[in-house]
Amino acid sequence: MSGIIAQSNIIVIIGMGVTGRSVARHLRARGKAFVWLDTRAAPPALAEIQQEFGELNFELGELQLDTLMAASEIILSPGVPAATPALRAAEQAGIPVIGDIDLFLREAKAPVVAITGSNAKSTVTTLVGEMAVASGRQVAVGGNLGVPVLELLQEAGTDLYVLELSSFQLETVQRLNADVACILNISEDHMDRYDSLAHYHRAKQRVYYGARAAVYNREDPLTAPPQAGGVKYFSFGLNPPDRHGFGLVRDRDEEYLAFEFKPLIAARRVRLAGRHNLANALAALAIGYAAGLPMAAMLSTLETFAGLPHRCQWVAEHEGVAWYNDSKGTNVGATLAALNGLQPEAGKIVLIAGGVGKGADFSPLQAAAAGLRAVVVIGADGDKIARVFEPLLPVLRADSMAAAVQLAGQQAESGDRVLLSPACASFDMFKGFEDRGRQFEQAVREVIA
């Protein structure tokens, strides 16, 4: 510890990760004094922080209530639960506890599109951003995806912000006042942080507070926004749409994406692969329409946008077996969406799954068992996933990604698909989901060489 808080009415930053560093840069640029806290005894970025910021006050380890009580404001990073007892005590004493989103909203001058959900946030956020670019807008895209929101403020001339927001980020937001807000879907995630699905759901619902327009998934009741006067409501889903809805219709034996009762584009022309990605395309259309983007530019983007790395990404095909990297499938809902989206007309799927389960219930995966040929499990909670499938189909265990790919290749038959979609976080075996996906792709290349 290089120093402690020595005066009252000073800002406290909690967390030395990517978000905390963006907050510190933001405050420093505005001449604000702060003390920096981190609940870890040895934050991995501490040396880099000291090199970037020089002399600074910081405290490491358990949060000290005296420090929090002396603060004029506490700025909390998403990785630290707002329910931490010391934070609760400070908040009850009248100390404001906010996040980087609140700081961003104080200075953002352009309309905000806010997107959250258990799955597909990054794909839809990026797709809406691409639609805005095609529309000629000066758009800044970030949040939980890529660039921290406070760094977006540095982009000159921005006339639209498109933000991916996690439940962690939303916990501290009182009134987002987004131009357009959307919850894509809700399924169990982060059950190691939330005590129930209802608790998690309440955090997600905060995205709608103060919204001018709300977009929801009409096939997922948990995404439905609260009803408020003056708010415009739009829905999306894979079923036929009604008024103010985007969905799928059939016309002359062909499936189309449609708005209300008007076909817009043939589903086969959407470049994103998989039926779950048709839902993502419909969500993006609904969000873009609510934000005032022209339909022609949005439909053109659907014909060219191929998706993001590690999100149901085609890797290779060899001897009739196609390999897909869905390393970003870090919860059960995401993996079910990938399995349903890639279900082939013939053949079956060999699934590679496992990692850190975050307290999730894996039993819903059993619903996809009929379309699976085998399951290969890895990681800390691999045995929990194995128990879901062992009565129904072959389950194999692997202690590395290379071994998992080898076993999956041995199980797959011509016409099958091998899918890495772990339904788990990655930090037991990998540096992150990107590292996990890269190791999968490298192992696939070695197997088919």
Question: Which residues does the annotation mark as catalytic?
Answer: 121, 144, 190
Contacts (Cβ under 8 Å, ≥6 apart) of 136: 297
- Cα separation of 142 and 31, whole Å? 25
Return contacts of 241-250, CB within 8 angstroms, 24+ apart. 245/218, 245/286, 246/282, 246/283, 246/285, 246/286, 246/289, 247/218, 247/282, 248/278, 248/282
- Cα separation of 358 and 173, whole Å? 24
Beta bridge partners of 376: 352, 396
Describe the strand order of the beta sheet including 254-259 as a list of residue ranges: 139-143, 160-164, 112-116, 180-183, 213-217, 232-236, 245-251, 254-259, 262-266
CA angle 352, 358, 217 (to 5 degrees): 80
Any idea what DSSP says for residue 31?
Answer: T
Query: Coil, strand or helix: which one is 119?
Result: coil
Residue whose structure tokens are 């619903």: 367
Distance of CA 301 to CAs 26, 132, 307, 310, Å? 34, 9, 11, 20
Q: Concatenate the DSSP letters of all residues of 389-441 into one string.
A: HTTTS-EEE-SSHHHHHHHHHHH--TT-EEEE--SSB-TTTSSSHHHHHHHHH
- Cα separation of 444 and 67, whole Å? 51
Any idea what DSSP says for residue 379?
Answer: S
**Taking Cα atoms as reference points, which of 137, 127, 130 lies closest to residue 182?**
127
